[in-house]
Amino acid sequence: MCDCSEDAFRAQATGSGEARTLTVDGECSCPTTGYTLSLEPTNPGIVPHPEDVVLELVETAPQIGGDMITPTPVHYETQIGPEAQQVVIRHSGGSMTIPIVEAPDGGSYGY
């Protein structure tokens, strides 16, 4: 199981109105080398919250990996509407809420 912190994730939107592109980048510390991480859309729950983009962190453990705590990156990109204000990431250790930052001048952050 990888260890993830809100501080290691960023969410940014570029564009405006219905044509916003959301980019989520982050990093988790995994217990061995060779882990892969992905973010996938998941069920937002019974009560709708249009301001939330709800994702699940999927961890894929390696068949063989070195016993070393390893920083492992994850990246996700999708189109969102104007109502989205934050990303909720569900993972094996709970959940994280990452505010969506608007890119100045349509640019992107450099991570």
Q: Is residue 111 part of a domain?
A: no
- Rounded to an integer, what distance in angstroms lies between the CA atom of residue 87 and that of residue 52? 6
What pLDDT digit, counting tens, does each position of 9-24 carry? Answer: 999 999 987 889 999 9
Q: Is the pLDDT of residue 2 over 80?
A: yes
103 or 87: which carries more pLDDT confidence?
Answer: 87
- Rounded to an integer, what distance in angstroms lies between the CA atom of residue 31 and that of residue 99? 27
Task: State how many domains the chain has.
Answer: 1
Q: Structure pTM? A: 0.88
In the chain, % of residues over pLDDT 90:
72
Q: Is residue 37 part of a domain?
A: yes
Residue 28's domain comprises 3-105
